[in-house]
Amino acid sequence: MIDSFDDPAVHDALATMSDLFRTGVILGYSALIAVSILVQGGAAYYYLSRRKYLREFLEHTPAWVVDFLRRSN
């Protein structure tokens, strides 16, 4: 069994597996980075788009309600 490690075919197979593993890791982390950029960008866009609704709420809501909401958080 130990003699088979000196076989060039075994070394080639291990090198190929190592390359496949490295490619898989790179693809996995690339996908994770892409998804996190999309999710965080989408969240930023969502909260920026709510700005006008928040301003409308603050303009049309009685001051005591806004004060109550600020104190309850």
pLDDT in tens, 15-64: 888 889 999 999 999 999 999 999 999 999 999 999 999 999 999 999 99
The whole-angstrom separation of Cα 45 and Cα 41 is 6
Inform me whether the pLDDT recorded for 7 exceeds 80.
no
Inform me whether the pLDDT recorded for 66 exceeds 70.
yes
Domain total of the chain: 1
Question: Domain limits at 41?
Answer: 2-72
Is there a contact between 39 and 47 (Cβ–Cβ < 8 Å)?
Answer: no
pTM for this model (two decimals): 0.60
The whole-angstrom separation of Cα 69 and Cα 73 is 7
The predicted structure's pLDDT at residue 72: 86
- In the chain, which ranges are continuous DSSP H helix? 8-49, 51-60, 63-72
The predicted structure's pLDDT at residue 5: 65
